Chains A and B, each alone.
Chain A
């Protein structure tokens, strides 16, 4: 099935730095979701966005639903070692089809 373009593919940052990743699609979606997956675990939902332009925060995480409905970004402020993992975006269409991004691997160096 379709996969969303997610960038960057991987990031290595120092603890305390901010992180930004984004996801783009050629199709429009009615919902954007961001998940985090730890090694050997299933993805955990971080933030869900339902309206174009919506900006939502969850602690140090902030995500926005792009105005065009074709993109979304996730920011993590003041990163900490436990932020390590793979972050996936996902888009849900009006037909309730669900598409995953390619993932961004985050490494936080203490």
Chain B
């Protein structure tokens, strides 16, 4: 149980285009999902907390107009990188918080490798 999927696994896009990444909890409902960014050989950096049915909470320094988050249902959150630039190239990982009965732990998706050319 507690499986989280992410789509796509990797994406290459041209500078100036937008990219949408999906995060799904497959076998549990997640009222809260998280989006992280990870640079090579570094720890995960929390970008935003996504709550179902409400606006996302962004960490300091993360542009909410550039990284649009939509948590439309209890099993799906999306991250859209708008007008992507090469510096947005990174590994993006989502996680979903398990419900109380499963201990509130975060379960992570496999990540999406974004390359902006």
Interface residue ranges, A against B (CB under 8 Å) = 1, 3, 31, 33, 35, 40-45, 48, 50, 88, 90, 92, 96, 98, 100-103, 105
Task: Kindly provide the distance from the CB of B48 to the nearest chain A CB, expressed in whole angstroms.
Answer: 11
Q: Among B14-22, B66-74, B107-115, which stretch is in contact with chain A? A: B107-115
Residues of B within 8 A of A (CB): 2, 4, 6, 32, 34, 41-44, 46, 59, 91, 93, 95, 97, 103-111, 113
Q: Is the CB of A103 within 8 A of B108?
A: no
B44 pairs with A100, CB closer than 8 A: yes
- A88 and B44: CB pair below 8 A? yes
A1 with B104: CB separation less than 8 A? no
Further pairs besides A3-B43, A48-B103: 5, Cβ < 8 Å: A1-B59, A40-B91, A42-B111, A88-B44, A103-B42
Q: Is the CB of A35 within 8 A of B108?
A: yes
Provide the residues of chain B in CB contact with A33, threshold 8 Å. 105-106
Q: Contacts A1-B46, A100-B43; is A42 near B93 (CB within 8 Å)?
A: yes
A105 CA to B40 CA, complexed, in Å:
12
Report if A45-B107 is in contact (Cβ < 8 Å); known contacts: A3-B43, A88-B44: yes
Q: Considering the chains assembled together, what is the distance between the CA atoms of A100 and B108 in angstroms?
A: 13
Distance from B93 Cβ to chain A, minimum over Cβ atoms (Å):
5
Whether the pair A42, B46 counts as a contact (CB closer than 8 A) is no
With contacts A1-B59, A48-B103 known, is A43 near B108, CB below 8 A?
Answer: yes
Question: Which residues of the partner chain B approach A44 to less than 8 Å between Cβ atoms?
Answer: 108
